[in-house]
Amino acid sequence: MFLRVSAKSVLLGAVSAVALMSVAHAADVVQPVEASGFNWSGAYVGIGGGFGASVHKFSVAPIVDFNGIGGNGVFGELTAGYDYMVNERFLLGGFIDANIGNIGPSISIPDADIDLTNAYGFDVGLRAGYVLNPSTLGYVLGGYSWQHFKLDGSGDADGLEFTENRGGYVLGVGMETALRGNWTLKTEYRYANYGDKSVIDFGGGALNVEPSTHTFHIAANYRFGAQSGGGASFAAPTYNWTGFYVGGALGAGTAVHDLGVDLGGGGALDLNGIGSEGVLGEASIGYDYDFGSWVAGVQLDGSYSGIRSKLDIPGGSIKLDNDYGFDALARVGAKVNESTLAYVIGGYSYQHFDLHASDPVGDIIDWSKSGFTVGGGLETAVSNNVTVGLEYRYSQFAEKDFSSEFGAPDGTLTDKASFQTVRIGAKYKFN
């Protein structure tokens, strides 16, 4: 199970890089096109997928409240919808998506594995959009989400099975940009919450579970009638990608801590993992160079986050904060139309962690780790000097050995953290 879980984390990072690189490559063969005639009104269908994490909050009132247990994964998705342009800038629409995936936590003990996954589900909702420039749409969405959760055991836990269907709400934000003909490329972040419900009743109380998910979607949509006229009449901004820039972003996401415990005698416990969720803020500086149909650049950014796990018990609480860090990244992008860049990004990341309790205990331990980040996104010009964008990142950090802090032999207690975050940002480029 150690190998299986580690492979899952590595695979997630590799899949994110390959998938986003393939989108950029596909965009590269599409020559930048004038999209001022693109009509967003009408029906569409799409296919895609993405990456994400779940966080399960467990509570036994009034004894314990733990947020939470979480895990990473991937999913595939089919979508259909309809949009209507209220005027040349504003759009209203509806959509329905169906998904299947393996997002969720897992635990391994000697001779047994247990997985809790978001197996399949659907979202149905409404979205409201604003045309940022003639080729690119920014939007928010909200609606109803339904998910089938499945608990599975194998090995000595074979036969352990529990399923539950949950309904809840979904909120999100996204960008969609015109490619060639009737095709568009969509990137999107969604947060879904499935409510706090009892799963086990016992004398004097109940175990309640509240699942939530943070997912990043990337999809290609075919829009019927997109070239039939009625698109934006205003001109696209004149934007040269070469130059220095400063930027800021707000985002949200998860951290998953993969805990390993050496039980002695060759046995081990592996929990993937302790789940954290929250929001973040980020500032960045960078430089891009425009090579014609594609762009390359480097950037430095620093972030501070409220991504946190929390255990409330009588008399106090214990918190694991994934608080601040920085990244040194490079990116390569392709111009998918005259105003918008689809890109992949990757490089070095540093993150600080802090485990602490309420008084009188206070600080327990804090540590820092280096790692790597991969991801990608869409960035589009809204003026001659300003761009806005939506970006996904997966970060994996080196293993931390806590054994010496607890007086145990090396390798007895370890932690390996991974992040999945999405940020909405704006950049100002100097002439």
Ordered DSSP codes for 159-221: T-EEEEEEEEEEEEEEEEEE-STTEEEEEEEEEEE---EEEEEETTEEEEEEEEEEEEEEEEE
Q: Which of 67, 20, 3, 1 is nearest to 394 (CA)?
A: 20
Q: What is the pTM of this model?
A: 0.90
Residue 261 buriedness (CB in 10 A; 0-12 / 13-18 / 19+): middle
Please tell me the predicted confidence (pLDDT) of residue 198.
84
Interatomic CA distance for residues 273 and 389, integer angstroms: 30
Please tell me the predicted confidence (pLDDT) of residue 18.
40
Going residue by residue through the chain, which has 431 residues, state the pLDDT in tens, using 9 for 90 and above. Answer: 333 434 444 444 444 444 444 444 444 444 444 445 578 999 999 999 999 999 999 998 778 899 989 999 999 999 999 999 999 899 999 999 999 999 999 999 888 899 999 999 999 999 999 999 988 999 999 999 999 999 999 988 888 888 999 999 999 999 999 998 889 999 999 999 999 888 887 776 788 999 999 999 999 999 997 765 666 677 888 899 999 999 999 999 999 999 999 888 778 899 998 999 999 999 999 999 999 999 999 999 999 999 999 999 888 899 999 999 999 999 999 999 888 999 999 999 999 999 999 988 899 999 999 999 999 999 999 999 999 999 999 999 999 999 988 888 888 999 999 999 999 999 999 98
Please tell me the predicted confidence (pLDDT) of residue 32.
46
The conformation of residue 238, written as its DSSP 8-state character, comes to -
| Residue 329, both tokens | 């990244």
Please tell me the predicted confidence (pLDDT) of residue 229.
60
Give residue-wise pLDDT tens across range 93-109.
999 999 999 999 999 98
Task: Put residue 403 in one of left, alpha, beta given phi > 0 → left and psi -120 to 50 → alpha.
Answer: alpha
Please tell me the predicted confidence (pLDDT) of residue 227.
62
Please tell me the predicted confidence (pLDDT) of residue 394.
98
Interatomic CA distance for residues 285 and 283, integer angstroms: 7
Of the chain, the end-to-end C-alpha distance in Å amounts to 53
